[in-house]
Structure 1
């Protein structure tokens, strides 16, 4: 019997070991799933939707090739709606994938006639594309007769971007609602060979247990075989022949004790019966004891706590129907780095054309004036540089249309003496999908400023209309109201609406400072000239972003005009060094007009609040100067 069991163990062990090894070798699944597509050779843009990229689970690997110039190829991904808005009037190809039969199809999407690009148009609505099936390419390249298209490289719209050699193989985990765009530089065709690869789970959880179990059975089989062999050899030893059987002795009469005499067992049999009874009694005691212990445990056991469900939101931003924020945190960090590089290049060369690549509105106006002054006045300090990071605060607009607004606060490095500097606040605006974010305002925050409670960057904030009456002061009236305070001080009707306790700008250029300047000029030159001040609203946009308390952060651009005019014949007005450098006039027989621009950020509380409007930060400087007739 032992030999039979050994043979069975050997057979089962062999089967288990072979099956385990086969799972890791012969029957091992493929390590990846690959889908390849070839697009027409004249295609400039290729779009791969997230449904295709997520056809299989796991990290996607995108490989592109076939570009005539690998340096111009790029791969980027962004929200599907943003990608289509950027393409707008451009013809592009899409790739579809059927997971059932692993078939890849290519379609060409042609915009409707009359659709125009959104880079310069006021309307940013995405045109409804028309999809037409594209037959399998024959490999012959065709020349695209249309005009060169826009270059997608470097766009702020993309969540991430890979250029040149980095675009050949890209690994990504693209979520739903995000698409990939593959392109050249807008003039050259995109790479025409697209390969998608997904990893496959090649784990074989039964291989190791089968091999180990087979080895264990093999050892058991060997042990059974050796045991059977030993027993067999032992049973074949020499045996003695037995003689004649002894006659049986007569049986002695059995002794029967009386009932009154207790029979005490003796000898081996009594011991054996005692040994048999002891385990039986012990088992009974344990059974009774176990029953009692179980009952006691049931009465004293600690009740199992019942988990309390926590309400969570399945939508990524709390509301599936709410628009997503204009940018993500990593996307904004990349945008700020690009702005920092562009600002450094423009500042180093005093080149307003380079500044126009990333600055607009009041921020560009102040930089242009600073460049013009520094060309003629070498000791004029430059404006604060835009640091590349880190970001201390980001507040994107929650929107799916354009223009889009983003507020960012960037930490400033210590100055040359090691003293900490106030953070820099930026207001960025993207006018159309093909435009980059431009710096409209760049201000230094006030020391110890109290920033209101803002929405998280993952949710975003709404833009408040300039004429909103839900705030204590309408956003489009804040500039004029604060300008009136700078001119008239306590006599202004807006004076009680603003918190001026720690307002450093009022202390620097407010009504008291203006009165001192006028008095100093009259004392020094008598009645030969006059110095007057007037306020006006600049051309910068009014930007208002809602806070969590129904208030708003409002960015405005008031301007102040200083007119120094001659009132006595023969007298002259001498311009300061900065004014002379910007106006080109050192002295005048008539007068000099200087315009100072202010970039201001306020917190405006909601209507009915007991709080007052307070200044969060500012930047100011001379923006224009001229001689007046």
Structure 2
């Protein structure tokens, strides 16, 4: 009985193991099939825009549920989508009519309404027009021009943009305060359907343990079954003390046929082996199917709750000295924020670098005005003119796209907006980093390079605020610096003209200032020494027409960019005539003859200074951090 009882217990346990394995595996598979929750929540809106040319998905619609937003737009032959800060989207739209897609919390659904901005809501540049005109009654053509809105494609305001035909779908992870702008991308029909999907956590952390655990229990049942069969076979071995027949012999049995010898036991054992082979094939497939992270408990979820923080936060910062930014009284005031984010600036610089390479090659001065202005445009325009006659003349220094080692946007609530950035040449690290000041005059204009200059060797740029905060602009009359920024250009122009004899010379640090040697008193004397005795050179410096750009540093100082124009006149002193030597000045002026009036060259100088704040060390001086100089004019003396 002991042997039979042991075999019976093994078979019972094997059956129990099979039942338990079936239940466990079934529950695990059911969690990933019939009981599986949806992996996303969706909301959609069917729109009828009427005369509206745009759709704006508001921040509350994007934040209706946590997680990344998958936006699908359809219903138009062409679809364009971009996203940016809500204030920037509203400013770009100006008075244009658009469909606003919001969120109705009570109905838990998207809502839509047509919005027409008031004319007063349109952003107005903070700089006055240089050519004011008397107010006139609006004409039909003027009203039509005002109603027409340019394409948003390619605007520097957007953090990213996409376009496609018929249907566009993209996944974004935007923080609070971001809106999505949708249009027909040049088509006549506005998209009619907007759908937003948010991911849901439909992971089944016990599916994996149940499936794998059931597979192991199934293997245990197979082991018990095989053990029972093996024990049963051993118990059927030769027996001793069997009773003898009448003649003392065992009864003879008929001889089995060839096909019967060992047939039944071997067939039974073969079936048992085949049964045992099935789980060896099934269990690995079940184990592999349970390898997904969704099948198992997450240690990260046990250690800390899941965060829904945005991938790229955008921080708004109040203006310096605004200690009551959180008071209710200031809710109606526009909040300052950095003009750009770092990813946005990197995107802008890639565009600017590619554009500069193109126009520098084609020497198209009219096209260059799309991305250059002020001293930077003057320098390139002159260079293109010179190279049109003097092919061997060097092209302008290329604008590097990356890496950006410094991005300092202005804190702004309106326009114009300014950004100071420093970019290295990724292809040639021996080239000095390029400092650029870019200005955006209105929401619908792109950033243009106002100043472009090379940093001085070993330039000690002070620490500045992170790009997520930005720097406040400093007024030209601000008295908290060792010199008001509005006076820096004129003071340095005097230093270049007079050298150490200038009253402002002690204010500027001469160390590392190579420009004094080139265009200062020493350089002016070298120019005169190279002239024949029948001619003399005179020099004069004036402050350029470009605005002074000053952004605060962390140590209460300022980074200041200005421009100076130095005019060099060569006059005959013996009653004779003079002219240009063959070279850039002759190529730019087109004047190849001789004149008794004299000839003149104009050098455009772009400068970047660090101006310390009042109260720092007594020895603090204004430091020249970078500059560029180029020929921007040449002619006969008037």
Asked whether the two chains share a fold, i.e. TM above 0.5, the reply is yes
| Residue 25 (structure 1) aligned with residue 33 (structure 2) | yes
| Rg larger in structure | 1
- Within 5 A, what are the aligned runs for 1:465-476? 465-476=475-486
State the shift of 1:376 in Å.
Answer: 1.4
| Partner in structure 1 of residue 611 of structure 2 | 604
> Which of 340, 349, 352 is 2:353 aligned to?
340
Q: Deviations over 1:375-396 (max 9, x none)?
A: 1111211110112211122111
Distance 1:562 1:622 in 2: 11
* Residues 565 and 573 in structure 1, CA contact (< 8 A), matched pair in contact too: no
Distance 1:24 1:608, change over 3 A: closer
| Residue 613 (structure 1) aligned with residue 628 (structure 2) | no
Distance 1:533 1:574 in 2: 16
Distance 1:146 1:27, change over 3 A: farther
- Within 5 A, what are the aligned runs for 1:269-280? none
Distance 1:339 1:166 in 2: 30
Distance 1:165 1:6 in 2: 61
Match of 1:77, SS state, is strand
Distance 2:146 2:46 in 1: 21
> Which of 41, 62, 66 is 1:57 aligned to?
66
Distance 2:483 2:317 in 1: 30
* Residues 429 and 439 in structure 1, CA contact (< 8 A), matched pair in contact too: yes
- Within 5 A, what are the aligned runs for 1:103-502? 103-113=109-119, 116=122, 147-164=147-164, 168-185=168-185, 188-209=188-209, 317=315, 323-412=336-425, 420-502=430-512
> Which of 531, 536, 546 is 2:542 aligned to?
536
* Residues 65 and 168 in structure 1, CA contact (< 8 A), matched pair in contact too: yes
Match of 1:384, SS state, is coil
* Residues 123 and 414 in structure 2, CA contact (< 8 A), matched pair in contact too: no
Distance 1:203 1:495, change over 3 A: same
Distance 1:197 1:562 in 2: 66
Match of 1:619, SS state, is strand
Match of 1:525, SS state, is coil
Paired positions, count: 514
Distance 1:99 1:20, change over 3 A: farther
Match of 2:338, SS state, is coil
Distance 1:565 1:204, change over 3 A: same
| Residue 577 (structure 1) aligned with residue 583 (structure 2) | yes
Q: Deviations over 1:309-347 (max 9, x none)?
A: xxxxxx975968574322111111111111111111111
Could you tell me which runs of 5 or more consecutive residues in structure 1 were left unpaired when the two chains were aligned: 124-143, 231-314
Distance 1:120 1:396, change over 3 A: closer
Distance 1:480 1:122 in 2: 23
Distance 1:330 1:531, change over 3 A: same
| Partner in structure 1 of residue 133 of structure 2 | none
* Residues 413 and 420 in structure 1, CA contact (< 8 A), matched pair in contact too: no
| Partner in structure 1 of residue 141 of structure 2 | none
Distance 1:47 1:35 in 2: 15
* Residues 575 and 592 in structure 1, CA contact (< 8 A), matched pair in contact too: no
Distance 2:500 2:380 in 1: 33
- Within 5 A, what are the aligned runs for 1:94-105? 94-98=100-104, 101-105=107-111
Distance 2:119 2:580 in 1: 62
| Residue 554 (structure 1) aligned with residue 560 (structure 2) | yes
| Residue 82 (structure 1) aligned with residue 123 (structure 2) | no
Query: TM-score if structure 1 supplies the norm length?
Result: 0.74
Match of 2:76, SS state, is coil
Distance 1:519 1:216, change over 3 A: closer
Q: Deviations over 1:200-229 (max 9, x none)?
A: 2222234445556777888999989x99xx
Distance 2:65 2:387 in 1: 59
| Partner in structure 1 of residue 519 of structure 2 | 509
State the shift of 1:62 in Å.
Answer: 1.0
Distance 2:114 2:569 in 1: 63
State the shift of 1:10 in Å.
Answer: 8.7
Note the aligned Cα RMSD (angstroms). 3.4
Match of 1:476, SS state, is helix
Q: Deviations over 1:272-297 (max 9, x none)?
A: xxxxxxxxxxxxxxxxxxxxxxxxxx
More displaced stretch, 187-196 vs 445-454: 187-196
